[in-house]
Amino acid sequence: MRTCRSRGSGRRFGYAQVMNPNYLYRKGEMSAFPEVLLTHWLKSLASNLKGARLSDPIDRWGRLAGNAEALCDVLPGQADPRRAEQF
């Protein structure tokens, strides 16, 4: 049975959707191709945008906000996965 209620913040989950693949890529655990990292990011963004437009009961707007915050941290090189604890 699927439930639409989450136990955590949608914003925190959205932040992790972007930050965790970035962390694994920098650590060398993920493929050496940046396209793999971009694919992870784009899948997360696309599914959250689609769900937000369709009024999905999951907190897609919160996830999008988390995605945006993580991208703002990752792109200038200030990535720190522990920042998700602030949400």
- Write down the pLDDT at residue 37: 85
Cα separation of 78 and 7, whole Å? Answer: 28
More confident residue, 3 or 57: 57
Enter the DSSP assignment of 16.
Answer: H
Q: What proportion of the chain, given as a percentage, has pLDDT over 90?
A: 28
Q: Token digits for 11?
A: 């914003």
Q: Measured between alpha carbons, how far is residue 29 from residues 8, 65, 68, 77, 82 in Å?
A: 26, 26, 24, 19, 18
Q: Would you place residue 14 in the very low, low, confident or very high pLDDT band (cuts 50, 70, 90)?
A: very high
- Render pLDDT for 35-75 as a digit per residue (tens, 0 to 9): 888 898 999 999 999 998 887 788 999 999 999 999 988 88
- Write down the pLDDT at residue 63: 93
- Write down the pLDDT at residue 45: 94
Q: Measured between alpha carbons, how far is residue 1 from residues 4, 8, 10 in Å?
A: 10, 19, 20
Q: Token digits for 9?
A: 């913040």
Cα separation of 48 and 50, whole Å? Answer: 5
| Contact by Cβ (8 Å): 80, 73 | yes
Instruction: Decide if pLDDT at 1 tops 70.
Output: no
